[in-house]
Amino acid sequence: MRHESKCVVMDEESISVVRSQPLFSGLDNELFESVIQSAHIRTFPKGRMLFQRGDTAECFYVILDGWVKIYRDTANGDQAVLGIFSKGDMFAEAAAFIGVGFPASAEVVEDARLVAIESKRFTAMVEKHPQTALNMLASMSRHLHRLIYEVERLKTRSASQRLVEFLLRRCQATDGPCVVTLPYDKNLIAARLGVQPESLSRLLNKLREYGVTTDANQVFIEDVTRLREYCPVDEQEFERTVA
């Protein structure tokens, strides 16, 4: 494993973020506390490898802050980005549950704080408590349905609409102004949206008339409600799709 970093005991806020994950829904407090008993917050600088393909899946992660990319190296030396994750996302739990090596590599692309949860402690609980296994299956199903949903969006929505939807899903506010912080490496966002890197700036410029401006890696949204008019996001549809 490649996660040498300073460990910090979890506080109430970080516990709440972990508790909100679908994987832990339905667990009583005693079971949940058993899972996170040895969990710690770890801080990682940009560029740090969390794990590489084939590494033993000793931990899975919940992101408190920052960005992480999951990728595989291709035969011609390029990287195929399989996903990028940010605050509130969980990743690598499937490999931890199956008990095999990680099927892809993970790299921190912006300074990050992660909760690392021990795989052994979690799998031991799965063996004792069937409800936990059902939650695990539901979590894996959610990831699959999210992927299907995103493929559908790539086929049915324009690049501008996909960008707006991406921004709206990372807004902490439902109306009024909001700031969304992106990775400095815009190639990651372009890959996530299925567009060429040089197209991303043009797409952002198109949104100026909807009150969207940028400064370095920050996107300033003047009014979330106004931006939503450009690309309505049906939250109920999304939740049904990825549930």
The pLDDT of residue 2 is 47
Mark whether 150 and 68 lie in a shared domain: yes
For the chain, percent helix, then strand, then coil, each to nearest 5?
A: 45, 25, 30
Distance of CA 19 to the CA centre of its chain: 16
pLDDT digit string (tens) for 44-72? 999 999 999 999 988 899 999 999 999 99
The pLDDT of residue 131 is 66
Mark whether 92 and 139 lie in a shared domain: yes
Domain membership of residue 68 (yes or no) is yes
Mark whether 69 and 88 lie in a shared domain: yes
Task: Round to whole Å and give the CA distance between 162 and 169.
Answer: 11
Mark whether 105 and 217 lie in a shared domain: no
**Alpha carbons within 13 A on the beta-carbon side of 182:** 23
Mark whether 68 and 14 lie in a shared domain: yes
Mark whether 176 and 91 lie in a shared domain: no
Distance of CA 173 to the CA centre of its chain: 18
Q: Which residues of the chain are under the pLDDT cut of 70?
A: 1-7, 26, 130-156, 232-243
- Count CB neighbours of 122 within 10 A: 22
Could you tell me the residue range of the domain that residue 52 belongs to? 7-154
Mark whether 212 and 118 lie in a shared domain: no
Domain boundary among 95, 127, 154: 154
Q: Are strands 105-118 and 59-73 parallel, antiparallel or unpaired?
A: antiparallel
The pLDDT of residue 236 is 39
Mark whether 78 and 188 lie in a shared domain: no
CATH number for the domain including 173? 1.10.10.10
Domain membership of residue 175 (yes or no) is yes
Domain membership of residue 23 (yes or no) is yes
Which residues lie closer than 8 Å to 154 by C-beta, 6 or more apart?
Answer: 162, 194
Domain boundary among 127, 154, 181: 154
Task: Round to whole Å and give the CA distance between 31 and 9.
Answer: 19
Domain membership of residue 2 (yes or no) is no
Domain count, the chain: 2
Amino acid found at 40: H
